[in-house]
Structure 1
Amino acid sequence: MERLISKTKGDRWIWLIVILLSVWSLLAVYSATGTLAYKKGVASEQFLIKHLVMIIGGIALMYFSHLLDYRYYAGISKILMVITIPLLAYTLLFGANVNEASRWVTIPIINQTFQTSDLAKLALITFLARSLSRKQENIKDVKKAFLPIMGSVCGVFVLIALANLSTALMLFGVSILLLIIGRISIKQISIVCLAGLILLSGVMLLGPRRKTYISRIETFLHPEKANPDKSFQANQAKIAIATGGVFGKGPGNSTQRNYLPHPYSDFVFALIIEEYGMIGGVGLVLLYLVFLYRCVLIVTQSPKAFGALLAAGLSFSLTIQAFANMAVAVGLGPVTGVPLPLVSMGGTSILFTSVAFGIILSVSRDNDEKKEKSQEKVIVGEISALA
């Protein structure tokens, strides 16, 4: 154990945030899965143990990911992109249909489903960071830099948007942020945004889930005219938040978990506010804000463009996802299927999120090691001068 702790490097605040989010996740999921366990005729502890195994597995992946030099992820990103594009297409055509969406692929033998968009987020962000850092000398060149980057962003966007529009929009937004940081010209970024708008319009008007997307937007914009069944989730979440008050009902005392369709995943933030009150909700928001702040420090301290872009892209992705989930729970956005990072129940989401945290910590670890070496050189130089 001491050897493991001694090898744990990187930003200590991020490690602390991961531990706090994991503990909070266990408490929330255990409370939220009571009704689900009753419906399935099993004990709540069964879901808790499965979730605990996933969290432990996620922390293990994060630990090994942070030990690997972040520069290796540049090469890995090419392999991930080669795997991701066909896998997203396969998911659309042959994936497991859950809640009227083909987002999951069933892994043979273990019979466990995983959401391919989780892999796609990691693949695209690492690939963009690699491409932008390596093409800085030719960053204005349309053929060598712009077209390959635009093709990867738009291709992944369409393949994800056909089944999961909210995740696709967030990933597209993160990609635009990376293009801005990577010194792509405003003109070229405008072209990417225009292409994304055209593709979005096509998905909204012609895609297989067009009716679902339009219905959710109409329900959000005009809740008074919406079918009660369509606004049921949002209304129950609002009741949970309203009854939570300042201090909440206490851990395990939620009543809306019996009515919310997904209190352990999509609407876990509403359940947290109900049980822990406004104080708990604000505390959770602060954890993600502190995480973003620590990541910004890592980005500004990184001497290499790839490390800075990698940490920026992954941190923006996780933070935007967190605030999108919380915004939906409090009624500031249409209902989506976006989980709360490291808090919502969900196997592949936790594992891929943990890898993303691990990569950020790998960049942080490299920054710390370079800083230590620089300080050692200064000390040696001072000693030599005195001698």
Structure 2
Amino acid sequence: MIGSISGQIKAKAARLDPSNYGRSDTSAVGRWFWEIDKVLLLLLAVLIGMGLIAVAAASPAAGERYSGGSVRFSELHYFYRQIVWIGVGVPVMIAISMMSRERAKRMSLVGAAIFFTLLIFVPILGPEVNGATRWIDIGIGQLQPSEFLKPFFVVSMAWLLSLREQDKSLPIFPLSAVLVGAVAVLLMKQPDFGSTIIFASVWIAMLALAGVSLRVLGILAAAAVVGVILAYFFYPVATVRIDGFLFGEGDNFQVENAMRTLTAGGLFGMGPGAGTRKFGLPEPHTDYIFSVIGEEFGLIACLAIACLYLTIVARVLIKLLDEDNSFALLAAAGLVIEFGLQALINMMVNVQLAPSKGMTLPFISYGGSSMLALSIGMGLLLAFTRRNPYLTRSPYVVKWSGEQTA
């Protein structure tokens, strides 16, 4: 009896041992293990781990600000909640990364339709928080449709732009412009100027990768400049933030205090839990968590995080240099550009190089919607960058995860 149980345990352990996933293993887990970009997966794991440490450092300040004197709020309230969100988000990321490209594309098209529809209803159903209406209350929490729309929008746009290869006469570029414009209008109503910039910038980058002429890109660049100028004169949110950033007018407490907090720790920081300026920061666990990292762990830690984001973006873009599937190239490049751009904007706000945007730092900031949406996006990225390292790439036929493309 004991021998039988021992044999069953050894058999299960053998199935779970990564060394047993040989090149001939055709199971879903076996194919995933050999095809996944393990370096990219490791970089994302390191980033999530750093984020958990950062939320632990910011949690006491956030708890004091938002507890309202409630005894239910412990110093690590947001840290414990972030552990829960990571526990949900990471399995979602792994599950999506195991999908085939075709299945990931179909899921993204459906997801884009669902969250675009929810985005329409945000002004009607959503509660106002700090002057913005960006969330929908779903009972157990608040859902931010724009965060979930980002990865699905990128993949859907990649699919749309890739259709031009099949039929040059299709009005793909004008249609994509209409879709981006519709999303931008809905976001500006919330208002969410930062996300509007990300959607538009990623779209332009994908157009460049899709082969749009330099003349068209120049026109779009000029239109973007004109759009910002018009927003300054006719969009009050943009007016206030640009005036504050350029001329120091209005309430600049947030960005100025963030910069003072970030530099308070010097090169090596004041030490975990030793920061004091973070208690005066608005949103220390979300928008301004980069400043908390600077105070407690130093500018060296901030530089390390910035380099980590850069490494992730560079890793994906370099890997795509020999990608021959236009849809996969556009989808993966768009996802990593959107990821890197969001990180760049957040860090620029914290160092007073950009006006306040109300944007989280990917996988570092606290947030349920943010963590789940980013996990979906990175799961899709891992799915589109999967590659069997033991197959020789041919200019005629390349085999991907059981799929065959000419």
Query: In 2, distance between residues paired with 1:286 and 1:124?
Result: 27
- Partner-residue secondary structure (3-state), 2:134: strand
Q: Contact 2:259 / 2:351 at 8 angstroms: preserved in 1?
A: yes
- Partner-residue secondary structure (3-state), 1:339: coil
TM superposition score normalised by structure 2: 0.83
**Pairing of 1:270-349 with structure 2 (within 5 A):** 270-349=291-370
Provide the residue aligned with 2:143 in structure 1: 114
Query: In 1, distance between residues paired with 2:17 and 2:132?
Result: 41
Match of 2:60 among 25, 29, 34: 34
Structure 1 residue 254: Cα displacement: 1.3
Unaligned runs of 5+ in 2: 1-12, 22-28, 395-406
1:12 partnered with 2:38:
yes
Structure 1 residue 131: Cα displacement: 0.9
TM superposition score normalised by structure 1: 0.87
1:179 partnered with 2:207:
yes
Which range is displaced more, 115-124 or 327-336?
115-124
Match of 2:290 among 258, 262, 269: 269
Query: In 2, distance between residues paired with 1:319 and 1:375?
Result: 29
Which residue identity is paired with 2:334?
G
Which residue identity is paired with 1:148?
L
Query: In 2, distance between residues paired with 1:4 and 1:236?
Result: 50
Provide the residue aligned with 1:220 in structure 2: 245
Query: In 1, distance between residues paired with 2:207 and 2:186?
Result: 20
Structure 1 residue 237: Cα displacement: 1.2
1:374 partnered with 2:403:
no
Query: In 2, distance between residues paired with 1:38 and 1:349?
Result: 22
User: RMSD of aligned C-alpha atoms?
Assistant: 2.3
**Pairing of 1:57-96 with structure 2 (within 5 A):** 57-96=88-127
- Over the matched positions of the two proteins, sequence identity in percent amounts to 26
Which range is displaced more, 156-165 or 69-78?
69-78
Q: Contact 2:271 / 2:297 at 8 angstroms: preserved in 1?
A: yes
Q: Contact 2:59 / 2:77 at 8 angstroms: preserved in 1?
A: no
Match of 2:197 among 166, 169, 183: 169
Query: In 2, distance between residues paired with 1:243 and 1:4?
Result: 47
Structure 1 residue 149: Cα displacement: 1.5
Q: Contact 1:161 / 1:203 at 8 angstroms: preserved in 2?
A: no
Structure 1 residue 146: Cα displacement: 2.3
Q: Contact 1:28 / 1:272 at 8 angstroms: preserved in 2?
A: yes
Which range is displaced more, 178-187 or 282-291?
178-187
Provide the residue aligned with 1:123 in structure 2: 152
What per-residue deviation string (whole Å, max 9, x for no partner) do you get for residues 278-301 of structure 1? Answer: 210110011001101111123223
Unaligned runs of 5+ in 1: 377-387
Provide the residue aligned with 2:134 in structure 1: 103
CA separation of 1:154 and 1:87: change in aligned 2, threshold 3 A = same
1:241 partnered with 2:269:
no
What per-residue deviation string (whole Å, max 9, x for no partner) do you get for residues 274-330 of structure 1? Answer: 111121011001100110111112322323111111110000000011011001001
Structure 1 residue 198: Cα displacement: 6.4
- Partner-residue secondary structure (3-state), 1:149: helix
Provide the residue aligned with 2:8 in structure 1: none
Which range is displaced more, 163-172 or 87-96?
87-96
Which range is displaced more, 154-163 or 1-10?
1-10
Query: In 1, distance between residues paired with 2:110 and 2:222?
Result: 29
Query: In 2, distance between residues paired with 1:356 and 1:277?
Result: 30
Q: Contact 1:138 / 1:144 at 8 angstroms: preserved in 2?
A: no
Structure 1 residue 25: Cα displacement: 1.3
Q: Contact 2:62 / 2:284 at 8 angstroms: preserved in 1?
A: no
